[in-house]
Structure formats: structure tokens, C-alpha cells
Structure 1
Amino acid sequence: MTTEHQSLPSRPSALDGASLELHYLAEGAANIIYSVSVTSPAPLQAHSHRYVMRLRKDLPSTKPAVQTMSDFRERIVPLFAGHEALLMEQALYELNPEMIEAANRELVEMDGVDLSALSINDVNAQSRPNRKIRHHHRRHVYLPPYEEEQYGILMPNLHGPGIDWLVEFKPKWLVQSPSAPRDARNCRTCALNAMRRRTKLHQGRGDSGFCPMDLLESGNILEGALANIWPMQEGVQAFAATFKAKVQPVLSHLKALQQAHRSVGLEDFQTPAGKDFGLAMALRDCSVFLVLRRRDEGGGVDLVDVKLADLDLKTTDGGKVQKWARMEQELLDGGWYYSAEDSNCALSRHKS
């Protein structure tokens, strides 16, 4: 028995004009991610769930998809000249009112789920088609009406056929904050994580249990950091060599970009005129995706691809600059750049 190989569209734009159905996958502070199935035309239906759609939330801090894509092409892509393959491919998709209405109805229904009445297994089983759950702090925020947003952004679904693991991590600040004390024992990321763990006053992603600067190290230090994101109990030592060869150059480039766009200290936030916070903060909040496949013979894991995502320019509207300034002031006033408790920062080890 033989089956004809059916190649995938080379770019998300190949689905332009196709009729799609949205399936809720996950959401962050600003966007909701949907898997998409193709309802027509028939030749493209085999590509269902090979792509995901990102739709922005109806918040003052989110930009229309058309502007987001324009910013990406004009401001982000040139920073990766010659290495554009590292960037997640994206394409605009024209929505229709029915898609938005159906997606918002689903979100309202999901808001009605009582988390307190569910077991931990139920809460973790968000992929169940009959039980989708929004975390309590994501509730009651929906998609903009069609009159205000007519487009979504299509991207490849990296966890496609033949892929065993899709690992995501946020490198965050690979260089120190310009306003941190010179004798700081915590980098900006470790200082913020220490404050969040102790005070529990701020929510956010990025606390993966390691110092981001360790991702550019080698030996046991790198292996210790990777153990926090590695999907298996074994094999991290072997993967560290692959990570050093294929991922560290990407992170080194990202670090250089953060260094070049470093107007992100307290004084910058307090005197924002002429500062490009949108780009600088985007470079500090992007995600890295590692596409992994188990080897058929001999064990081990192959790194199939490395992609950078979440590189939307940050908006400075809605009090964002003031929020960043307050956060930096809290880190300074609270002594979090010096806190040694619950911290294993590279800066502290280097000064020991």
C-alpha cells in the first residue's frame, strides 16, 4: 500500500482566501492562539492544524494586526538580515464577522467554568475538546469586534507531524539593566523573579528557574539551566552540545541586539523622549522555540529547528512606560538586585 506525499504550503500565506475554523489552544496577556482547520477549498483541507492563528485581545495595549505585521517587516526583520529563517513566518489572514462572534462566544462560555469545582487533572487537561478552561486572570477579556479588527496573523504550527517535543523558553534580559547597581548580585531577570517569588504581587512569564545568562555558558552551568526546560529526565548532557552549537549563536545575536538597544533603565523611562522602548522591550520579551524529534536509531534527540517568536513591538500606550518605571524602582528600592534568597544568578556566582 502506498500513499501519495502531499506537500504542505510553503508559507502561511498559502491559506489566504481559504475558509478556516478556529480551535482555542492557549492565550497570553495580549493574544489568543488558535489552531485552524480548513473547511474549504478541499485541496487545502489536508493542511488542517498545520498552522495557528494569533488574534489580539481587545486591550489598549494591543495593536491592529496590519500595524503589527508592518512593524515586524520594517523593524524586526532587518535586525536578522541573512538569518531571516530564525524568525517565525507570519502572514495576515482576513477574518469575517462570524469567526469573531463564534470565538468570543466560546471565550464567554469558557469564562463560565468554575475552576474551584475541578480536579487538578481537569485543570491540566485543557486540550480536552469538551472542557476548555481560561485561567482566572485571563477571563473577561475578549477579541475586538469585527469593526475594529478584520485580520488575524497566521503562523506555522511547529508541533506538526513527526515532531515529538516543542520546547519554548524566554531568554528575557541577557544583559543587565542600565540602572542596576554596579555591584549587583542579581541580573535584571533574577532580581524580578526573586521579587515575584517573595511578594507574589506581580504576575508574568519567564521565571523558568534559571538565570538567562547561564544559557550562554558551557559545561555543568549550561546543563543545569537546560534541565529546567529539557522535556525528558535523561539526555540533557548530550543535548547541551547541540544547544551550544545551534542555539547559543542565536542567543548571542539576541544579546548583541539587546546591548545595542539598551535605553531601558529607570532614567530612560522617566525621560522617555526619543527612546525606542517598543523595540528594546520586544527584544527582551521574545520566545525561543526548539523543535525536537526523537531519533529512530541509537536514541537521542535531533534539534530540527530553532525559531524566534513574540517579537511584536511593545506599545508605550496605556501607562506601559510608567509601569516599567515603577517595576525598576521597586527592584531598586526593595534591594532585589542584591537578594541572594531563592536566586542562583550568574552574577552572584561570578562574584563569589
Structure 2
Amino acid sequence: MARVPVLPQNTELTYLAEGAANIVYRISIRPLTPEPTLLEQYGPGTPPPTDIEPEDEVEYLNEQPLFDSKLLRLRKNLPTTFPVAIAQEKWEQLVAPLFSPDQIVEQSLVDLRPGRFIASLNQKLRNNETGANSSSRPTNRLGIYLADDDYGLLVTDMTNFDSVNGEEVHEFKLKWLLQSPSAPKDAVRCRQCARSAQENVKRRANGKPYKQYLCPLDAVSDDPRGIAQAASLMGTSEGNRRRIKRWLENSTLLKRLRQLQAELDPIGVLTHDPPNEKSCVAMTLRDCTLFLRLPRNEAGDALIEARLGDLDVKSPDKAPYWKQTELELINDGFYQGRDGLPLDCALSPDQEGRFRRLNLGLGRGFGA
């Protein structure tokens, strides 16, 4: 096993974002300031203290470039997360070989033990939740803290580097890029659009407006209108929508992801009993994140950087949740469209009507 670098004790970690299983921190390594020492304490021939560097301090200084353009990802204390060293081993063996290095968010182990970071970060999370200021954490993430793990992961920083000059970074959970093998034969929605309809029913019950979700099948569609529809929901400006459309038309990344989803799980979550290694990787690929970094328009389309992240292999302990979710979508009629919501899916039998409705801005409210 390659030597694992140590996160310097003089590192400052700033909360950036979190998902269901991990919290991501920005890394800032503060300059080392040695304690002033009287030269009179040293005998003749002893070099000044500024010329003496402890061995571990030299090690830290040599490692600091490793943290450039990196974020720190730490796992939460949940029964469905693997210890980081095990998760990284699975990633290296089962996921990384599926893609070229420039297609994925690279990750590597970092040793947290010398700095005792976990206890300090958990205390900050608790203080933030109970303090006078509102927590920066999403409400549904409160009360869950970091696992007391020996390691974290250094991951490629895919945040916005140059927003002042017009750079944009977007991230998308495209989820299932083809229909679920367990879906009913009479389905008029793909698996992800069925899940989106389920979420919109909850929004309706809570008095919230209908939310237009991306149909992931549009992102890998052979129909130019589908590609255009996906790009319209992925970009925030007209220029970047055009660039994303061209990227979707020309890139092979998402089609490769779709191919792997199909190959690794051709039978569906209802028949994973128990889940095997391949099915767990398939579910990982159905929940990964697509990061798109778009420099300002003048830089040209060729500079769009696309990487897949959040690729830690799923635990088979999540199988009951996967099955329960699929059964709800089937039994409650979300696949078949029995909820009365618009069929904003590439599998809708009325594609002409769908695109006409979307182009007119209809179908974006309940009862449309």
C-alpha cells in the first residue's frame, strides 16, 4: 500500500457542503510560525532555531502541494457507510477502472489522526446547530455527525474557481439513464421521472408548486428535442445552455455511464437477493454526480470539464431501502402516471404534446 499523506495539524477546515453520506470541507493550510527562542540558550556552533525543523514538520511542508486544488470529504456516522479505507479500496478496484482518469473526480486517502480533526469538527457541527445563528447545514441533515474515522478523502475540487470572470460550475444527479428493469410493462415514465412525480405529489400535499425535473433519458437521447430540453434545465444562461447542448451531443461520458448501468444490473433491484458486488456498483452509478465546469463563453466549448463524482460503492445494507422505494413507485402508480401530474418524461406516449407543452412553458404547475 502506498504511503498515505498526513493532513497537517495547522490545517483549517471550512464546511462547504454535504450529502446523505458525507460532508465536504475546504482545506486551508495556515503558515507555520515557530515559537521565538533566545539564541543565548544554545551553545557555540548550534544553528539558530529557524534553521532547525522537526522531522514531522519537514514532512508536512513537503506534502503541502498534495492539497492544492483538493477538498476534504469525510464520511458520516451511518450504518450504511463503509470505513473510508475500505471505501477507497473498493473505489480503486471496482469503479476507477471503468472510466478514464479525466472523467472522474479523483480521490485519495489522507490520514486524519495526528490532528484529531473529527472530534473538533463534530463539536463545531453541534455548536452551529444549537447556537444563535441558524445552521448552514440542510435541515434534513441535522443531528447526524462525522464517523470517528482514521482517514478522509482528498477529492478533486470541482467548485467554482473563477466566478468573477464568468466561470460556472454545475452539478447534476442524473440518476437512472435507462428504464428500471423492474418497471411495469405499461410504464409511461422512466424510473427517475416516476421518482420525481412522487416528490411532486409530496410538494402538492404541502402546498408547494409543481417542480420541473430533468428527465435523464433526455440527456442521452437521439432526439435533438430531448437533448435541447435537457440542456434547457441544466444551464443557467442562454449561452451556457447552447454549450451544454453541444456537449451532450458530442460527449461519450453519459452514454458510457448508461452502458455500465445496464451491464452491471440487467435484472433490477427487486431481484437483488442478496445484492452482489456488481449490483452495488450499478446502484452507485445510478446515484453519482455529474460535475460540469464551464469557463466563460469566450474560452470556447472545448474547455468544458466534465467529471463524475460521489462514486463510493454502495453498501448492500441499502438493499431494503432500494426495494421499498421501487415497490412504492410501482404500487402507487407513479410509473403508470396514475397521479394526475404531467407526463414530462421521454417515455411519454405523447411526445409531440410533451415538447409542445414544455416549449410553451406549460406543465409547470399543478392541474396543467
For residues 151-300 of structure 1, the aligned pairs below 5 Å read 151-159=151-159, 161-162=161-162, 164-199=167-202, 209-217=213-221, 218-246=223-251, 249-263=252-266, 265-269=268-272, 271-272=273-274, 274=276, 276-296=278-298
Quick one: distance in 2 between partners of 1:266 and 1:77?
Answer: 23
Q: What amino acid is aligned across from residue 124 of structure 2 in structure 1?
A: E
Query: Are 2:104 and 1:87 aligned?
Result: yes
Quick one: distance in 1 between partners of 2:212 and 2:334?
Answer: 18
The residue aligned with 1:63 is 82
Q: Which range is displaced more, 256-265 or 69-78?
A: 256-265
Secondary structure of 1:52 counterpart: strand
Secondary structure of 2:169 counterpart: strand
Q: Which range is displaced more, 233-242 or 328-337?
A: 233-242
Secondary structure of 1:277 counterpart: helix
The residue aligned with 2:362 is none
Quick one: distance in 1 between partners of 2:348 and 2:294?
Answer: 32
1:121-171 deviation per Cα after TM superposition (whole angstroms, max 9, x unaligned)? xxxxxxxxx8751122111111123xxx11000012123644611110112
The residue aligned with 1:326 is 324
The residue aligned with 1:102 is 120
Q: Which range is displaced more, 14-23 or 192-201?
A: 14-23
Q: Which range is displaced more, 342-351 or 96-105?
A: 342-351
Quick one: distance in 2 between partners of 1:345 and 1:295?
Answer: 30
Quick one: distance in 2 between partners of 1:76 and 1:137?
Answer: 29
Query: How many equivalent residue pairs?
Result: 308
For residues 37-76 of structure 1, the aligned pairs below 5 Å read 37-39=28-30, 50-76=69-95
Q: What amino acid is aligned across from residue 138 of structure 1 in structure 2?
A: R
Q: Residues 37 and 47 of structure 1 are in contact (CA less than 8 Å); yes or no, is this contact kept in structure 2?
A: no
Secondary structure of 1:228 counterpart: helix
Quick one: distance in 2 between partners of 1:15 and 1:302?
Answer: 34
- Fraction of identical pairs, as percent: 32
Q: Residues 263 and 276 of structure 1 are in contact (CA less than 8 Å); yes or no, is this contact kept in structure 2?
A: no
Quick one: distance in 1 between partners of 2:321 and 2:108?
Answer: 31
How far is the alpha carbon of 1:16 from its aligned partner? 4.6
Q: Report the RMSD for the aligned CA atoms in angstroms.
A: 2.9
Q: Which range is displaced more, 229-238 or 174-183?
A: 229-238
How far is the alpha carbon of 1:22 from its aligned partner? 1.1
How far is the alpha carbon of 1:38 from its aligned partner? 1.6
How far is the alpha carbon of 1:47 from its aligned partner? 8.1
1:184-229 deviation per Cα after TM superposition (whole angstroms, max 9, x unaligned)? 100000011101210359xxxxx87121000012533212211212
The residue aligned with 2:207 is none
How far is the alpha carbon of 1:239 from its aligned partner? 3.7
For residues 300-311 of structure 1, the aligned pairs below 5 Å read 303-311=303-311
How far is the alpha carbon of 1:178 from its aligned partner? 1.1
Q: Looking at CA atoms only, which structure, 1 or 2, has the larger radius of gyration? A: 2
How far is the alpha carbon of 1:181 from its aligned partner? 1.5
Secondary structure of 1:290 counterpart: strand
CA pair 131-335 structure 1, distance change in 2 beyond 3 A: closer
CA pair 237-292 structure 1, distance change in 2 beyond 3 A: closer
Specify every segment of 5 or more residues in structure 2 that has no aligned partner in the other structure, as ranges. Answer: 33-59, 205-210, 353-368
Normalized against structure 2, the TM-score is what? 0.75
Quick one: distance in 2 between partners of 1:262 and 1:220?
Answer: 29
Specify every segment of 5 or more residues in structure 1 that has no aligned partner in the other structure, as ranges. Answer: 1-12, 115-129, 202-206
How far is the alpha carbon of 1:35 from its aligned partner? 0.4
How far is the alpha carbon of 1:51 from its aligned partner? 1.4
Q: Which range is displaced more, 71-80 or 94-103?
A: 94-103
How far is the alpha carbon of 1:253 from its aligned partner? 0.5
Q: Residues 264 and 277 of structure 1 are in contact (CA less than 8 Å); yes or no, is this contact kept in structure 2?
A: no
Quick one: distance in 2 between partners of 1:233 and 1:331?
Answer: 35
Q: Residues 23 and 36 of structure 1 are in contact (CA less than 8 Å); yes or no, is this contact kept in structure 2?
A: yes
